[in-house]
Chains A and B, each alone.
Chain A
Amino acid sequence: MATQQSRTLGRIAVAPSVIALFLWMIVPLAMTIWFSLLRYNLLDPNPFCSILSPGQLFDEANRCLAGTTNYYYFLTDPAFFKAMTNSLLIVGSVLLISVVGGTLFALLLDQAIIGRNIVRLMVIAPFFVMPTVAALVWQNMLMDPIIGFISWITKSLGMGAVDWFTYYPKTAVVIIVAWQWLPFATLILLTALQSFDEEQKEAAQMDGTPPLSFFWYMILPHLARPITVVVLIETIFLLNVFAEIYVTGTGGRAGNLPYLVYQYGLLANDIGGASAGGIVAVVLANIVAFFLMRMIGKNLEG
Chain B
Amino acid sequence: MARAVSSRRKWTFTILAWALAFLIFFPILWTILTSFKTEGDAAAIPPKFLFFDWTFENYGIVQERSNYFKFAMNSVILALGSTFFALIIAIPSAWGMAFSPGKRTKDLLMWMLSTKMMPPVGALIPIYLIFRDFGLLDTRGGLIAVLMLLNLPIIIWMLYTYFKEIPAEILEASRMDGASVWKELVYVLTPMAIPGIASTILLNVILAWNEAFWTLALTTKDAAPLPQFIASYSSPEGLFWAKLSAASTMAIAPILVLGWFAQKQLVRGLTFGAVK
Given contacts A13-B93, A258-B120, contact A119 B17 (CB under 8 A): yes
With most chain A CB atoms within 10 A of its CB, the pick from B102, B168, B172 is: B102
B253 CB → nearest A CB, Å? 10
A112 CB → nearest B CB, Å? 6
Given contacts A123-B21, A266-B217, contact A296 B122 (CB under 8 A): no
In the bound complex, how far is the Cα of B17 from the Cα of A118, in angstroms?
11
Q: Which chain A residues numbered 10 to 28 have a C-beta less than 8 Å away from chain B?
A: 10-14, 16-18, 20-21, 24-25, 27-28
Question: Is chain A's binding surface mostly helix, strand, loop or mixed?
Answer: helix
Contact check, A136 vs B124: say whether CB atoms are below 8 A apart: no
Q: Which chain A residues numbered 257 to 288 have a C-beta less than 8 Å away from chain B?
A: 257-258, 261-262, 265-266, 271, 274-275, 277-279, 281-282, 284-286, 288
Contact check, A258 vs B244: say whether CB atoms are below 8 A apart: no
Q: Which chain B residues numbered 88 to 147 have a C-beta less than 8 Å away from chain A?
A: 89-90, 92-93, 95-97, 99-102, 106, 108-110, 112-129
Mask: chain A, 103-115; 1 = CB below 8 Å from B; 0 = not: 0010011011111
Contact check, B206 vs A128: say whether CB atoms are below 8 A apart: yes
A54 CB → nearest B CB, Å? 26
Q: Which of A7, A225, A293 contacts B110 (CB 8 A)?
A: A293
Q: Is B210 an interface residue (CB 8 A)?
A: yes
In the bound complex, how far is the Cα of B183 from the Cα of A240, in angstroms?
44
Given contacts A16-B92, A261-B121, A286-B117, contact A136 B17 (CB under 8 A): no
Contact check, B128 vs A242: say whether CB atoms are below 8 A apart: no
Q: Which chain B positions have C-beta within 8 A of A18?
A: 93, 108, 112
Given contacts A242-B212, A242-B216, contact A129 B28 (CB under 8 A): yes
Q: Is A149 an interface residue (CB 8 A)?
A: yes
A283 CB → nearest B CB, Å? 9
Q: Is A127 an interface residue (CB 8 A)?
A: yes
Q: Is A188 an interface residue (CB 8 A)?
A: yes
Chain A residue at minimum C-beta to C-beta distance from B88: A16
With most chain A CB atoms within 10 A of its CB, the pick from B120, B212, B276 is: B212
Contact check, B121 vs A131: say whether CB atoms are below 8 A apart: no
Interface-lining segment among B51-59, B62-70, B193-201, B231-239: B231-239
In the bound complex, how far is the Cα of B10 from the Cα of A229, in angstroms?
31
Contact check, A119 vs B99: say whether CB atoms are below 8 A apart: no
Q: Is A212 an interface residue (CB 8 A)?
A: no
In the bound complex, how far is the Cα of B92 from the Cα of A142, in angstroms?
48
Contact check, A122 vs B24: say whether CB atoms are below 8 A apart: yes
Interface-lining segment among A44-52, A71-79, A88-96, A244-252: A244-252
Q: Which of A113, A127, A133, A141 contacts B259 (CB 8 A)?
A: A127
Q: Which of B89, B241, B256 contacts A17 (CB 8 A)?
A: B89
Q: Which chain B residues numbered 133 to 182 have a C-beta less than 8 Å away from chain A?
A: 149, 152-153, 156, 168, 172, 181
Q: Which chain B positions have C-beta within 8 A of A200?
A: none
Contact check, B231 vs A27: say whether CB atoms are below 8 A apart: no
Interface-lining segment among A29-37, A166-174, A213-221: A29-37
Contact check, B273 vs A299: say whether CB atoms are below 8 A apart: yes
Contact check, A141 vs B34: say whether CB atoms are below 8 A apart: yes
Q: Which of B47, B92, B106, B125 contacts A152 (CB 8 A)?
A: B47
Q: Which chain A positions have C-beta within 8 A of B106?
A: 297, 300
Q: Is A53 an interface residue (CB 8 A)?
A: no
- Chain A contact residue count (CB 8 A cutoff): 109
Q: Which chain B positions have C-beta within 8 A of A187?
A: 263, 266-267
Q: Which chain A positions have C-beta within 8 A of B118?
A: 25, 29, 282, 285
Q: Is A183 an interface residue (CB 8 A)?
A: yes
Chain B residue at minimum C-beta to C-beta distance from A260: B121
Q: Which of A25, A141, A239, A296 contacts B272 (CB 8 A)?
A: A296
Contact check, A21 vs B119: say whether CB atoms are below 8 A apart: no
Contact check, B119 vs A282: say whether CB atoms are below 8 A apart: yes
In the bound complex, how far is the Cα of B95 from the Cα of A299, in angstroms?
20
Q: Is B275 an interface residue (CB 8 A)?
A: yes
Contact check, A130 vs B24: say whether CB atoms are below 8 A apart: no
Mask: chain B, 234-276; 1 = CB below 8 Å from A; 0 = not: 1010000100110010011001101110011011001111111
Chain B residue at minimum C-beta to C-beta distance from A4: B100
Contact check, A125 vs B275: say whether CB atoms are below 8 A apart: no
Between-chain CB contacts (< 8 Å), 16 pairs:
A13-B93, A20-B89, A27-B126, A28-B127, A32-B123, A35-B125, A105-B20, A121-B260, A122-B22, A124-B260, A125-B25, A130-B227, A182-B24, A191-B267, A262-B121, A282-B122
Interface residues of B (CB under 8 A from A): 10, 13-14, 16-18, 20-22, 24-25, 27-28, 30-31, 34, 43, 45-47, 89-90, 92-93, 95-97, 99-102, 106, 108-110, 112-129, 149, 152-153, 156, 168, 172, 181, 206, 209-210, 212-213, 216-217, 226-228, 230-231, 233-234, 236, 241, 244-245, 248, 251-252, 255-256, 258-260, 263-264, 266-267, 270-276
Interface residues of A (CB under 8 A from B): 1-2, 5-7, 9-14, 16-18, 20-21, 24-25, 27-29, 31-32, 35, 105, 108-109, 111-116, 118-138, 140-142, 147, 149, 152, 156, 179, 182-184, 187-188, 191-192, 195, 225-226, 229, 233, 236, 239-240, 242-243, 246-249, 257-258, 261-262, 265-266, 271, 274-275, 277-279, 281-282, 284-286, 288-289, 292-293, 295-297, 299-300
